[in-house]
Copies of this chain bind each other. A is one copy, B any other.
Amino acid sequence: MTYCLAIRTETGIVFASDSRTNAGVDHISTYSKMNIFKLPGRLFVILSAGNLATTQAVINRVQRDLEEPESALSLATVKHIHDAAKYIGKINVQAQTEHANPLERHGISAECSFILGGQIEGGTHDIQLIYPQGNSISASSSTPYLQIGEIKYGKPILDRVLTAQTTLEDAARCALVSLDSTMRSNISVGPPVELSIYRKDALEIAQHLSLENDSPEYVAIKDAWGCGLQQAFDQLPRFVWEG
């Protein structure tokens, strides 16, 4: 499993992802799920969840379309973020179809989801969730985040804290807390945690962190959150019969 999320605020985008992949509990590996494409006049980040062979096939195809000048369509030529999502969606469906029959015979799903975010010069910054079926949705101003993979454990804190006006640093802290909550409750999501901050109109990543469980800045946030939660819990009102 996997847990990735992107948060779009008025001032930019935060991307966060775990790095655990597994094929059964006895086959666990570490792979980055955050792919950054810095191109002339545009920046894209792609987060991936699902069958690792499919995600690698998709990212490989995206990379080759950029390298081969005869490609009709690539991240370098799409005109809008939504077109980029459509392009990734199409590649995703093709990659799944290629090995679908033998995979299905073994009861294995080839499905993948992606979050694509970024900005094309002259356009607005945006994030899109691309489903295994190739279609996609954007975030909204009232729900400024998108998630893929193991999304439930880390959702409550996003629902409580995030708005379109949240600062990028607060959004980044919220993403780290959301990932930490997920990793504590589900062993299929694991470190290192990758975090990227994109400030709108910059067309490049402002900050990129890869945090191990024992990275001092990640430990500081986890410890402070644990203490703060315990404090919040200890301060809950007593029941009437407790006097």
Contacts and interface: CB of A to CB of B under 8 A. Distances in A.
Interface of A: 152-157, 159-161, 169-170, 172-174, 177, 181-182, 184-186, 207, 217, 220-221, 224-233, 235-242
Nearest to A150: B152
A173 B237 CA distance: 9
Nearest to A154: B156
A232 B237 contact: no
B226 A239 contact: no
Nearest to A239: B169
B156 A181 contact: yes
Contacts of A220: 237
A232 B225 CA distance: 6
Contacts of A221: 236-237
Given A160-B230, A169-B238, 9 more contacts: A152-B185, A154-B156, A156-B181, A161-B230, A174-B233, A177-B236, A221-B237, A224-B237, A229-B232
Contacts of A232: 224-225, 227-229, 231-232
24 contacts: A152-B186, A153-B153, A155-B185, A156-B182, A157-B229, A157-B233, A160-B230, A161-B230, A169-B238, A174-B233, A177-B233, A207-B239, A217-B240, A221-B236, A221-B237, A224-B232, A224-B236, A225-B232, A225-B236, A228-B233, A228-B235, A231-B231, A231-B232, A232-B232
Contacts of A169: 238-239, 242
A185 B156 contact: yes
Contacts of A161: 229-230, 233
A122 to B, nearest CB: 28
Contacts of A160: 184, 226, 229-230
Q: Closest 9 A-B residue pairs measured CB to CB?
A: A228-B232, A152-B152, A156-B181, A220-B237, A155-B185, A173-B236, A224-B236, A156-B185, A152-B153
Contacts of A236: 173, 177, 221, 224-225, 228
Contacts of A153: 152-153, 155-156
A156 B172 contact: no
A121 to B, nearest CB: 25
Given A152-B152, A152-B153, A231 B233 contact: no
